[in-house]
Structure formats: structure tokens, C-alpha cells
Amino acid sequence: MTDSAPALELRGITKRFGDLVANDGIDLDVQRGEVHALLGENGAGKTTVMRIAYGLTNADAGEIRVGGQPLTVRSPRDAIEAGIGMVTQHFALVGPMSVAENLALGRSRALRLDLAEARRRASSASERFGIKIDPSLRVADLSVGQQQRVEILKALSRDCRILILDEPTAVLVPAEVDALFATLRSLVADGLAVVFISHKLAEVRAISNRVSVLRRGKLVGTLPGTADERELARLMVGRPDFGVERPPDARAPSGAPVLSISGLHATGATGLPVLTDVALEVRAGEIVGVAGVAGNGQTELAEVLAGMRRPTRGSVRVAGEELAGAAPRRLMEAGVGRIPEDRHASLIGDLSVAYNLVLERLDHFRRGGRIDEPAIRAHADKLIERFDIRARRDDPLGSLSGGNIQKVLLARVLSRNPRVIVISQPTRGLDVGSTEYIRSQLLARRGAGAAILLFSEDLDELLALADRLVVCYEGRIVGEMPVADAEPERLSMLMAGRDAAA
């Protein structure tokens, strides 16, 4: 190891998952005493490349160096022994145990833990690294910010010299973010190398010395932390083809608002807000696309509109009928069709295609108190033909391809002719043919007068289908624009939490 060598070097790191190239020949170095941010959209490859550095994932090609020396990382144990620590988005702490016990886990070789010694070591580490936390407190009683400090302290107490933080502010309130940044500045001043994975421009510029931007698995640039936000935004999102042709019948919607949302609030499992004062309208014959980096309230908004999450306050109206907090069945009866991002969530793989097509409407297929099997089979045959499902009615749903599973879900919803369609990630993981078919069906429903709210992390998809875009950031709608005015720079700034107009 030499003093002049980078703390961490990655050379030619490549990782494939089937046909998907998650990391494509990435070269990266992290110096001692710096915060090096990895910036990029969801799915850009940020977390994957750092999981490789920490041994949670194995690379297909490339080399890792620590202090100038090659390092083989087969597991987190290899990384920890080399001085690499990682705090993931999902903490690896044992709730019923104390802070001291969590810090001692995996370190003691004895059959019994010397609790007094564990507390002494935890107190010493807390003082040494300036991370104040009571070693005797039970982890389950700590706030999310405090639990994160325990994770950081656990890594540092193992002689960590390179600390990887994966989206560390995602679950923190502003005061906790400030406390985290103060801790990082102190640690970096003592020579720690920090990798800060994020998609938030403001935070990256506030804490980092250098910023490396990943897009679609490639490292597209490394800039100083003081780099212009617009340049970082351009690198992060790139310039996708914003000239996607709309179908010949494309037109501005002229119908009345069908879905109206106002003052909508909701909280997550931790009690923190996940939706704040959300307001939007979708008109008949209109597709409104919801853009945003994953984790900014899109999933929670879709869950509220599907009846899977109760809002804490606010209004959701469908054709004038108040439905905030309504159960899924009532929403369906009011004309809301829901297609969730997890296409398996509302389907049963062991059941036949025919039964999955009627799961939500079994009461309509009863005769004299018994299930009307001939009616179910006839219904399935009709929808299989109408929606081009490449399967037989008696095939188990789980035996179908992803595209055909999505067609089953689409057929079940669209065959009811819903007036409002809430659809999330409709073509994620599908082949080109299935993607084109699903999109054509949505455009056809739009043409028939449905009001469609489309959640997608694929900007090209939103721009190809939507009439209007809204942008979600930290549970709020922070921007709205017609697709014709959707400039890539403005969109990327809004998605990263920056007001492009400012």
C-alpha cells in the first residue's frame, strides 16, 4: 500500500444479469479524505458497482484495488478485512439487541458475549469517531437516523477506511441529513474515503468533493462537487429522443376531469410522510405521466389510488364521487382499473389463465350459488383472442412469459371498460413486441375516453404515451408540463429535486 495510491480503485468492472448490462466497463477511483458521489437515475448501476466492491455481488470482469494493491472480493468478509464498509438502504441491525450488542455481532469468537466489554468498546468507538449514541439503548427504540449512525459506527469500528453509503438520506428527515453530513465531514477530515450513492443533486453538491455520473450502466463523466447543476443533470439523464411521434389520432384532451386529487397526504411504516399535499387532475381522453426517480412517492400514490394504502387526509374523486381511503372493491365499482408495478401481486401463478381473468369478479360468474365454469371458459377464450394472449385458458399463469402475464392483467382490467386507469411500470422487463402491444392498448383506451394515470421510470415511455407530465420528488408534485414542453434538462433538474426555473 502506498500513500499516493487511491483508497479504492475499480478498473473495467462489468456485470451482466442475463441480457441486461448493469455495469459496463466502469473505471473509478476514490481518494483518501474525500466524499466521492455516485450520481444517477434509478437503474443506472450505482448500487450494483458498489455491491461488487463490498462482495455482495460478483463482477463478470474487472479488477478491484485497495491502496494500490489488487484485491479479490468474494464476500463482504473479504471487503471488511480490506477496510471496506457499506451501509445499505436496508439496515442489517437486530432490533431487540442493544447498540453495543449489534456492534459486537460477528466479532467475538467466544461462546458468550462479555456485555460489559462490548459496551466499553462501543463507548470508545462512539467517542473516537464522534458519533454520539448510547450503547445500552435497544436498536428497535431508536429513530431511523440513529439506526443509521449505528450502522456507520459498526463499519468504522471494524477499521473501515473506505465507507460506502447507499442512498443514505432516503429515510432521513432534514435535521438528520444535516447531522449525517456533519459526521461525514468530520470523518473525511481524518482521512476516511466515502462513496456517497445518490440521485439528489442538491445533496451531492453539498457533501461531495467529486461526482461520478452513471447512466445506463456506463460511467459518463466525473466532475468536481462544485460542478454546475445543469451539467450534472444533463449527464445523469442524457438527452433521450424527445421527438417520439405520437399516433396520427393524437389530440389534446377535451373531456372533463374524471380523476381529481387534492391535498392528499400519507405516511409510511416509519410514520414519516410519503405523500405531501398532492394535487392533480386527469381528464377524459388524457394520459398523465408521473415521472420521478424511484422512491419519491410514486408507489405510495398508486397504492392510495388502488385502495391499498389509506391517506391521512385529502380528497380523491372519480367523476365527482369521493373515494379517499376507499377499499379496492369500491374503487373498482366506481370505475377505477388498477395495474400495479408488481404484475404478480394481484395474480395467482398456480391458478389457470381463465381463473386469473375473473379473480376480481367471481361473483359475476356464479349460477345458483355455484361457479359457472362454462361461462368462465367462454370469457377466457374471448379475452385470449381479443388481447392476443399466447396461452390456453387452462394453462397455469405461472407458466406464461412476462409479456403474456402482463396481457392477462391488462385484459382483466380493460375488459371492464374502466373510466380511470392507474397503471405502474406497464412494460418493465418486457420484450419489444409485448411493449408495443401494451402501449397500443393504452393509447386505444385513451382514444375511447379513459382517464389514464401512468407511472413509469422510463422517460421515453412517458414521452411516447403521455399528454402531460407531472414530476414527483420526496412525495410532492414539484412540476407539471405538457409533453411538448418537456425539455430533458428541466425534467432532470425537477427529478433531482431542483427547480429548473430557479
Residue ending a domain, among 417, 436, 468, is: 417
Say whether pLDDT at 317 is over 80.
Answer: yes
Work out how many domains the chain is built from and give that number: 3
Looking at the chain, the whole-number percentage of residues with pLDDT higher than 90 is 46
Residue 101, CA atoms < 13 Å, CB-side half-sphere? 14
Instruction: For residue 96, tell me if it sits in a domain.
Output: yes
Contact 210, 226 (CB under 8 A): no
Please check whether residues 407 and 441 belong to one and the same domain.
no
What are the residues whose beta carbons fall under 8 Å from the beta carbon of 248, sequence distance 6 or more?
A: none
Q: Which three cell numbers stand for residue 209?
A: 468533493
Q: Which of 182-186, 345-349, 497-501 has the highest mean pLDDT?
A: 182-186
b/e burial code for range 242-259 (CB count within 10 A of at least 16 → b):
eeeeeeeeeeebeeebbb
pLDDT mean over 320-345: 90
Residue 69 lies in a domain: yes
Q: Which residue has the higher pLDDT, 88 or 266?
A: 266
pLDDT tens-digit readout, 127-177:
877 778 888 889 888 877 788 888 888 888 888 899 999 888 766 666 778
Distances (CA, A) of 338 to 70, 319, 333, 341, 437: 51, 16, 12, 10, 18
Is 111 a residue whose pLDDT tops 60?
no
Q: Could you list the residue range(s) of the whole structural domain that residue 189 is in?
A: 8-237
End-to-end C-alpha distance for the chain, whole angstroms: 46
Which positions ≥6 away from 179 have C-beta within 8 Å? 145, 149
| 107 DSSP 8-state letter | T
Q: Tell me which residue of 265, 297, 296 sits closest to 41, measured CA to CA.
A: 296
- Tell me how crowded residue 419 is: count the other CB atoms within 10 A of its CB: 17
Whether residues 251 and 311 fall in one domain: yes
- Average pLDDT, integer, range 392-405: 85
Q: What is the CATH number of the domain that holds 110?
A: 3.40.50.300
Average of per-residue pLDDT values in the chain: 86
Residues 409 and 424 grouped into a single domain: no
∠ CA 176-116-86, nearest 5°, is 40
Each residue's pLDDT tens digit, 434-479: 777 889 999 999 999 999 999 987 777 898 899 999 999 989 999 9
Residue type for position 12: G
Amino acid (one-letter) located at 455: F
- Answer whether residue 89 shows pLDDT above 80: no
Q: Is the pLDDT of residue 187 over 60?
A: yes
Name the packing angle between helices 432-447 and 402-414 (round to 10°): 10
Give the rounded percent of residues in the chain with a pLDDT score beyond 70.
91
Question: Of 188, 218, 237, which marks where a domain is finished?
Answer: 237
How much is the average pLDDT of 376-395? 90
In this prediction, residue 341 has a pLDDT band, given cuts at 50, 70 and 90, of confident
Asked if 64 and 158 sit in the same domain, the reply is: yes
b/e burial code for range 348-367 (CB count within 10 A of at least 16 → b): eeeebbbbbbbebeeeebee
| Amino acid (one-letter) located at 371 | I
